[in-house]
Chain A
């Protein structure tokens, strides 16, 4: 039982399932981002929207009660996603091409939209969000090098120890594989009030990154606990000369 809403799309009222509407919005946003620098962008987007409206209209006329997720998915597939424009020069991938591509890119990942689906010229490094433990960094590296993710994780720990900094750097810098699929629409960061303990900061972060809340909370607590036991553990006060303390407040010796 899915919620259906009415939208005013290209001058006509369209009954559409709420989730399908969200997917459609995301798709249009991905197109706008893809065509951002194209002259006549608005006209192109308008033409595509008209075409979508036409296809939706056909479905409704043929007896569909409303537009559902499946219909939108088919429509988007037939028009094409930005990733398709880049990867296949705008031509539909024929099955022969697809088989060749998959055969050439032997990969250990089992996600549907792995990074090797991408460019024909150069294999790029992505984070694999389908097979992640934390941020999918090691999974992404594993895909890129055609190694097992577990191997990469073990090597990482041996190389970098528990040092989180290098990992965090890559987590931020390396794009997610889901961007290619959906088209680069960024998630927004909110505090999650529904799942809060104090202010919902950790809950919000956990939702954004897709990591378990408890992990985020522990990560937040570690520095606090450490600092409680050892004030200067992070060497924040190393440049303060405490012998000079009286002078700070203007007292003369």
Chain B
């Protein structure tokens, strides 16, 4: 089993949900999204974010407006559409259900493997 592949799949799975969560809090521009992800200890490359935002926008979950900046090039500020909000609500429930399930399954292992967790990535 390629553990790195599994880890990578786990991260990929929550990526869109995380992005939607950030935008749901309020209007943001892409580099701000990267900053917030970093603050939450989830490091994403901007080169991955832009295609993802475009895909979500084309799927109708996001909208953006251009904001002119005195100091630099104009920026895209993203918000969730109604569809986006609905999708976010569904994913939030999915996440809570899944996290709850995983929590139940691993609760007995948590104390035993605490040391192992600390050294793994």
Contact = CB atoms under 8 A, between A and B. Distances in A.
Interface of B: 2, 4-5, 7-9, 11-12, 15, 30-31, 42-55, 57-58, 71-76, 121
Contacts of A80: 45-48
Given A79-B45, A97-B121, A121-B5, A35 B73 contact: no
Given A53-B73, A79-B45, 5 more contacts: A38-B51, A57-B72, A58-B72, A91-B44, A97-B7
21 contacts: A11-B73, A12-B73, A40-B55, A43-B54, A48-B46, A51-B46, A54-B72, A54-B73, A78-B45, A81-B47, A84-B47, A88-B8, A89-B11, A90-B49, A91-B43, A92-B45, A94-B43, A94-B121, A100-B4, A120-B2, A121-B2
Interface residues of A, number: 38
Contacts of B58: 39-40
A232 interface: no
A84 B54 contact: no
A109 B76 CA distance: 44
Contact of A47 (B5, B76, B121): B76
Given A97-B4, A101-B4, A44 B45 contact: no
* A contact face: mostly helix, strand, loop, or mixed: helix
Contacts of B30: 47, 51
A209 interface: no
A10 interface: yes
Interface string A44-63: 10011011011001100100
A61 B43 CA distance: 27
Contacts of A90: 12, 15, 44-45, 47-49, 52
B33 to A, nearest CB: 12
B48 A100 contact: no
A96 B7 CA distance: 13
Which 7 residue pairs spanning A and B have beta carbons closest together?
A90-B48, A80-B45, A80-B47, A92-B43, A96-B121, A40-B54, A47-B50
B55 to A, nearest CB: 7
A67 interface: no
Contacts of B11: 89, 91
Nearest to B52: A90
Contacts of A31: 47
